[in-house]
Structures are given as structure tokens and as C-alpha cells.
Chain A
Amino acid sequence: MNRLFGNRTAIAFLVLPGVAIMVFALIVPIGFSFYFSLTDWAGFGAFNPVGAANYKEILTADPVFWRSLVNALILMAVTIFIQNPVAFALAALLAHISQKASQIFRSIFFVPAVLSVVVITKLWVNIFNPTYGILNKLLRLAGLKSLAVSWLSNPHTALGSVIWIIIWQGFGWALLFYYTGLMTVPKEIEEAAVVDGASWPQTYTRIILPYMFPVISSVIVIDVISSLKQMEMIYLSTDGGPGQLTQFIAVYLYQKAFVASQYGYGNALSILFVVVAVGITVLVQRLFRSEGEIQ
């Protein structure tokens, strides 16, 4: 076996299938995408090279691209600073109640995560519907008629409503990760802290949170990636509207490539999308790595 791993040809031979898959599934499509991003191709017919014109237009004259990016950052912030703490607190609560009750609550909270995106989106689109939706009916019954608005088409509530749907579906995953993480914290550490006179906030902030750091960082990285690549939920609910207020990059590049027949432009958007996504992910991971080293 040692001889096999000492043989460079054998190593190359063993690594080749994995590398080939990576090249054909990742590098080649990105390469093609980059090539078409330098053209004015409509998706069919002849095309002309346009150099970096598409990139220049996106970065200097396309407010929708920046709006999409800002929306992704807002979603990211809401996920990290609201969804995660709530999920963590609830997971901590579930970790301290009876196993049977915990199991029931975990199942309930995880239901949205196992439902299809189409089902969830249609469910919430119907709940938010101003004509027959249950939300406005309840608000009117409660005497809050002024709050009964058209949630998904009102410029003031559309983004919030869409983010709510996304958060609602993703909550179960965050809860599950945190609950599983909390279950791995050795009881002896907690007991030792209590013996040493630590209060429960001290136990959580000084002992459990640092112990959970790898789990928290993994959940946040997943949240960052998920915020950037939002597509189906937006496409099925608002399609980026009203105007472009709820637009996200993945939906926008699809619209440009296949609705507006600006395939070259859409590919330029996708390349920038890759750059932004990789950039932010690397940044977040570095942040956590240096934080982890300090810890």
C-alpha cells in the first residue's frame, strides 16, 4: 500500500476521476460562461465580441444588479443576526426539556424544511393574498384594518414578506444544527462550571458558545451561501417585483439570459455572481478561522 501511495503515477491515476468531474462540472461551465460574457449573444443566432462592455454596464449603469446585491446582504444580515440567535435560543431550550417533548417540537419546527420550495411559496403567497389571504382576514377581524396591505406587492412590505418566507423555511435547519451541536457539549463541562459558581448566562457565553463555535461558523457559512443564491422562492412569489425591489442576482441573471434574450449579459452577471459568492464565503471563513484561533 505504501508503495502504491509512493508512486506519483498511481496517485495521479487515482485522483484523475475526481479532478475530471471537477473540471467538467465546474471549471468548463465557468469558462464557457466567461467566454459568452464577453459577447452580445442573445442565446441564439450570431454574436459579436464586446470585450468587457457587459461588465462595465453592470458595474456602472445597472442599478438592479446593486439592488440584488443589497437584498442578498439584507437577507444575510437577517439570517445571521435574527434567525440564528432565535434558533440557538430555542435549541438551548429544547435541549433542557424532556426528550419526548423536545422530539415533538423539533419535528414541528423541521416540517417547513422538508416541504418543497414550491409548496412553501404557494402557501405563503396565498396567506399574503390581499383578496382571500388569511393574514389580512385575521388582521381585519382583530380590528387592524390599516395593517391589512398587499404584502407582496406593496413596496414597503414586499422585501420583508419575501425574507419572512425564506427565514421561515430555513429556521428548521438552523435549529437542527444547533440542537445537534448542543447535544455534543459534554455535561461534565456544564456541571463543572455550575460547581465553580458560574451563572447560566456565563455558562453559555464563556463555555457553551465557544464550544459550539465550529457549528455556528458552519451554519453562518451555509446561510451566506443560501442568501446569495436565492432563486426559486423569489421566482415563484414576486419574480423580483414590485419594480425590482425584491430582486436577487440568481433570478436577475435568469431573467436577463432567458426572458430579455441578453444571454451574454446574463453570463457576465453569473461570473460576477461567482466572484461575489466566492469572495464573501472566503471572507467569512477567514473571519471565523482567525476568530477560532483566538478562541
Chain B
Amino acid sequence: MKRIAALLVATLCLATGIYAQAKVTLKMGDNLPDRTSTWGAVVEQINTEFKAANPGTEIVTESYPDQPYQQKIKIYATAKQLPDVFKYWSFTSLLKPLVDGKFVVPLNMADFKKYGYIPGALESNVYGGKLYGIPVSADMWVVYYNKKLFADAGVTKLPTTIDELKALAPAFTAKGIIPMVTDGKDAWPLSITFDQLAWRISGDQTLPQKALDRKIKFTDPVFVQAAKELQDLTTKAGLFQDDLMVSDYGASRNLFGQGKAAMYLMGSWELGLGSDANFSDEFRANVDAFKFPILKNGKGKTDDLFAWYGGNYVVSASSKSKDLGVKYLQFYAQRFPTLAWASQACFPAQKVEPRSSDTPVAKSLLKIAADAKATSGTACLDLSTPQFKDDNQNAIRELCSGLITPEDFCQKLDASAEKASKQK
């Protein structure tokens, strides 16, 4: 009888132990569909380590390319089915509606300060005095280039002015090389470039914010000139790919990575181009970056750096595993800078040490960051309401397709800013 009782107790203990280790599934979402290289591989590594450190935890990730992912998150928010932990963006146009709707949980700032974030990085995720997300990367607007294609086209000097940049186009075109590519379909890279040009013209990075605050107007000459420059670059200079306005992120990135284009206008999160196994060794050895050129008669300086903290990670307020989600963010904050920098996947929003083994593009980006005398903060399309962002992108699409004049573009932008200011 005693034996039977002991057996029963032992079985009960075992069952309880199994129950204690019942699996918890953490649903995650991000915009990194490639899980085998660069940033996606880093996240997979972090997930593997987190699961090992937290037995019984399963992580199920849903990944889509950038823009479809943003749309998916909005649909999930509408359906109240947000993932437990998900990558998002700290911008007013994206995170603020989720904060206002109480869709994401506030985090304890003190828990994350110890992870070596660059000053201002955590603060970019603060709304109403509370931290809602952890930043992941420091973003800079730069021009990537392929050194071999430059040599093939006989180009020996990097362009430092917009005129010099435009003058390069015939040399590349004559060799059957696309001079420059970017993602025109999604329009936001062109919106950032518009802000960058306005800064290069005026030497004042605060103008877009002032226009949104209705202290000045988007119809002021500086914005009209920036719009003219952008329209010229995209429709007349013969600089970008012919199908710029229907080329999405992946298509334009692949044109550059496959050696079809000499330059790629994009953010520093593409640091991983120098180590992306999807592209050839020759490409990886030749990819580098330079600063966005200045305008000859502009007041902006070469070292005025368009930089911001965009991507972040947040925890859903409707998650049944909120504590585990926050624990994941802490683990992520601890491991991401080391792993991301070791694999040269991206520029973390945390301090990293330069190494002799860094890729040439990583060294150049570090130098661009170190040279910066002033930084911009978030681009104006993300500083206001979601509707302003949509209007901004639609107007940019029309401007860069040559469908409207720079003056009409500025009128549209100003009308939208006026509407947004009344909605705030």
C-alpha cells in the first residue's frame, strides 16, 4: 500500500513538474522576412537564446516586407489580434495611435537605461512621459555605392554636390548601368529626400516641424525649391531607374545588390549589404557609402546628417504573456547590439566599438556618424497624423511622376498640414 502511495505521489510530482513547464507561445511580428542572413538571422539567434534561457517558451514569428507589415499590424490592431511582441516604429504617425488607443504597454525606463542606448534613442519612444518601445537601430540617410561599377564607368571622384551627382548619370548609362536606385513605390524614401533637400537649401532642419506647427507654410520658397530639386532628380536627371515609381523596396535593393545599379539611396539600416550572403562576394567587397551631397548654393553643410531612431519593439497590451514580452525586450536589448554588430547587420541604437574587422561600409557609416555636426530627427511625414503621412506620400508620388508642379505639390502638402493641425 505504501509503495502504491509513493508511486502516486511521484506521478503527481512529475505531472505537476510537467504542468509547471507547460509551453507558453510568444507570438511575434516583424518586417524581416529573410531569417537566414543579416538582421533576420540576428533576431533568430536572439530567439534561440531566449528560448534556451526560458524553457517551455515557444516563439512564433510572422514576417512581411516593410509596407505590407505596417498594414498587417494596423489590421491586427483593428481586429484586436496584435502579436504579443512586435517590431514597429517610434514615429508619431505610427506609434502614437497605438499609444492613444492603449494597444501597447508602457515600459519601465530604468529597466532599459542600463543597456547602453545612445542619448536620445530611448526618448524617441516616449509619449506622455512614458516609454512605450525600445529602439533598435540608429538610422542615417546616406548613399551606398558600388566601387567596382564606379571604376567600370571611369568615375574616380565621389560626388559631393547634387550637380556632381547628376553629372555622373551619363557615364553610368553609357555602360548600361543604372546610376541610382531607391524605393519609389512606397514613396517614403522620396519624402525623406525632400526633407533632406530642404535642409541642404536652408541650413535649418527645423523647418518641416515649423510648417507642421503652422509657424511657416509648406508653400514657402524653400520647400518649393526643394520640390523642384527632387522633381528634377527623379524625372529629368536620368539618375534613377526608369520604373522608379513602381519599384518597391525589394526590387530596388536587388538591382543594387545584383550589380545592376551604381548607387542606392537608402538608410544606414542597410549596413548589412556588406555581409549579405544573398549577394556575390564581389558586390560585398565593393559596397561602400558616402554622405548625401550638398547643394552648391545651399546653406546646408556636408556634415548636417539626416538621422533618427525609427524601428522599435513594443509589447501588446492585450497579450496574455505581457511579463514574458517585457522580459524578451530586456533580453533583446542586451543581446542585439553585440550580435548585430558582430554580423554587421545594422547600426544598433546602442553604443558599439569599432573593430578592425568591420566591413568597409560599416567603417564609412561610422565615420559619417562621427563627422556629424547636426542631426535632423524624424522625417516630417512621420511627425504628424497618419492622414498627413498618406497625403505626403501621395503628393510625392505625383511630384516624382511629373504629374503635378512643385508649386502644386507644396499647396497639397500645406493643405494637408493645415488639416492635420486641426485634428491634433
Contact = CB atoms under 8 A, between A and B. Distances in A.
B303 interface: no
Contact of B185 (A241, A243, A255, A260): A241
Contact of A262 (B77, B100, B386): B386
A26 interface: no
Interface residues of A, number: 32
Given A131-B178, A153-B245, A242-B245, A261 B386 contact: yes
Given A153-B243, A241-B245, A242-B246, A45 B401 contact: no
Given A241-B185, A243-B403, A245-B403, 12 more contacts: A43-B74, A43-B78, A45-B101, A130-B241, A150-B243, A153-B242, A241-B401, A243-B404, A258-B71, A259-B67, A259-B70, A260-B386
21 contacts: A43-B75, A44-B74, A44-B77, A44-B103, A45-B101, A45-B103, A46-B101, A131-B241, A131-B255, A131-B260, A149-B242, A150-B243, A238-B246, A241-B246, A242-B398, A255-B390, A258-B78, A259-B67, A259-B74, A259-B390, A260-B387
Q: Report the interface size class on chain B.
A: 35 or more
B28 interface: no
B397 interface: yes
A129 B243 contact: yes
Given A44-B78, A152-B243, A242 B401 contact: yes
A261 B387 contact: yes
Contact of B75 (A42, A129, A243, A258): A258
B402 interface: yes
A237 interface: yes
A131 B401 contact: no
Contact of B401 (A44, A130, A155, A239): A155
A258 B386 CA distance: 10
Interface in B73-124: 74-75, 77-78, 97-98, 100-103
A106 to B, nearest CB: 34
Contacts of A102: none
Interface of B: 67, 70-71, 74-75, 77-78, 97-98, 100-103, 178, 184-185, 241-246, 255, 260, 386-387, 389-390, 394, 397-398, 401-404
A217 interface: no
Contacts of A262: 386-387, 390
Given A45-B100, A263-B78, A242 B403 contact: yes
B14 to A, nearest CB: 45
A260 B245 CA distance: 19
Given A43-B78, A258-B75, A243 B398 contact: yes
B388 to A, nearest CB: 9
